[in-house]
Amino acid sequence: MPNLKIALAQINPTVGAITANTAKIIDFINRAKEQKADLVVFPELAITGYPPEDLLLKPQFTTDNLAALKEIVKQATGIAVYIGFVDQNKKGIFNAAAFIEDKKIKAVYHKMNLPNYAVFDEKRYFQEGKNPVIVKYKGIKIGLGICEDLWVEKGPYLEEAKKGADLILNINASPYSIGKIKARHKIVKKIAQKTKAHIVYVNTVGGQEELIFDGGSMIADPKGKVIASAKQYEEDLLVFNLEGSRKLTPFLDELPEIYNALLLGIRDYVGKNGFKEVTIGLSGGIDSALTLVLAVDALGKEKVHPVFMPSSFTLKQSEEDSLLLAKNLGVKLEDLPISSLHDAYLKGLAPIFEGKPADITEENLQARIRGNLLMALSNKFGWLVLTTGNKSEMSVGYCTLYGDTAGGFAVLKDVPKTLVYRLVAWRNSQGKAIPESIIKRPPTAELRPNQTDQDSLPPYEVLDPIMQAYVEGNKSLKQIVKMGYGKEVVCKVTSLIDRAEYKRRQAPPGPRISPRAFGKDWRIPITNKYQNK
């Protein structure tokens, strides 16, 4: 095969920001030209950002994206461009890609395999493409594809290979989950071997609400060996000569991979939604501590404002630990006691509560007062409130609606409690941040005297694997019991998960790191009497 210099333009577009995305695309085209690339390849739906969801139902949105494509076509001089956009004809709209050469669209490919599972619902919007496409460029036959087309057993790559494709371009918006990059490498290697062609796999990068796109674009040779790979979690322009030496970025280990995914999720949610600073309720517990460290690492200490809101049940240790954590990170800790506010609430409610014993109502008032204070700071200063609840708590409803769930972005929403501890240990190994006393103390909400999480819940070492089997594995109660867990505890955990759906539906979004998070790919009815036995 004749030699070819290819630029993998791994960009971070913003959904709906067509003008800004187009400017970024043109900039990357020019940068690729400067490095003498023959071809520059962009991600799936690079012009619109992914996923555009119901913006696709607005005809003007498609029109604007087509106008942007025309501007990009004008830049294709001295270089070919393969880029994702939304196409339209009498049959509807298509998830499409254009191969551009000499200021002309040489070919348009319509995605043939539309994913409609997990976080994907492309069949809601797009028509299916019908035909594989091959273009000839610089004497090379190039097969075209988009994302899912590479993941199916009988994808268009087979027909393109039969027709002599030497090179197959596959552009993607493939969201992150733990270990996903290794799965991508496996499939790209397999298809390269099957087609005996070079595979160019370009992924988008960035955070889009719950979804995190981790990049990791790559090229595999016909023997199934990855010969070039881009960075994870950041924009990259990887320029590679197909006959050159290997240019590889090593995989991150599991914990830094997850940690960097969370950082990207925070950074892009805050920035892309127009916020500059954030606030966090700091309790002295490990969840709020990890949330604070993540926020500081993602945004910088000057943009993060922790608030300590003690009640009459807050232990002195919580205050001391919070102050030490803030000192370690170089942030100012605001102190807003809530005891007098709680007393005022109790006094105001006393006439109607007369004769009723104190219960969880009085506990939850404290959480809701804290939520009100944080939202007041958000309104006054324009700070985004980051909530601190983890996936274990969210799964079983161990959280207060309009209290600790009040906020704009739930950083640990898809992070189980046992993983919280592992992430803290890893982060501390990179530079001591979270005090040992926070790590070692039993988890507690401190809403009543001597309270710990295990008063209400099984140990997290038991709860988490049951939750993961039920939520992420869709296993039945009987199947989970066969895994070695007692029937009583399995019944309790799964029942709590089912009953807490109304809380999760009202919780803020948070970054998805697992194969199944509470959000786009969890759509359980609130009104639901099914018993998964």
The CA–CA distances, whole Å, from 274 to 100, 373, 374, 411, 509 equal 34, 22, 18, 17, 16
Side chain identity, residue 207: G
Out of 44, 160, 446, 501, which one is annotated catalytic?
A: 44
Out of 5, 24, 101, 111, which one is annotated catalytic?
A: 111
Minimal CA–CA distance to 290: which of 415, 192, 402, 186?
415
Q: Measured between alpha carbons, how far is 245 from 322 in angstroms, rounded to an integer?
A: 51
The verdict on whether 319 is a catalytic residue reads no
Task: Retrieve residue 309's tokens.
Answer: 């809101």
Q: Measured between alpha carbons, how far is 216 from 232 in angstroms, rounded to an integer?
A: 5
Q: Measured between alpha carbons, how far is 341 from 76 in angstroms, rounded to an integer?
A: 64
Please report, to the nearest 10 degrees, the dihedral formed by the alpha carbons of residues 174, 296, 438, 176 taken in order: 0
Side chain identity, residue 328: N
The verdict on whether 147 is a catalytic residue reads yes
Out of 147, 413, 417, 501, which one is annotated catalytic?
A: 147
Helix (H/G/I), strand (E/B), else coil: 290: helix
Q: Measured between alpha carbons, how far is 272 from 262 in angstroms, rounded to an integer?
A: 15
The CA–CA distances, whole Å, from 114 to 92, 146, 267, 269, 309 equal 14, 9, 29, 26, 49
The verdict on whether 225 is a catalytic residue reads no
Active site (catalytic) residues: 44, 111, 147
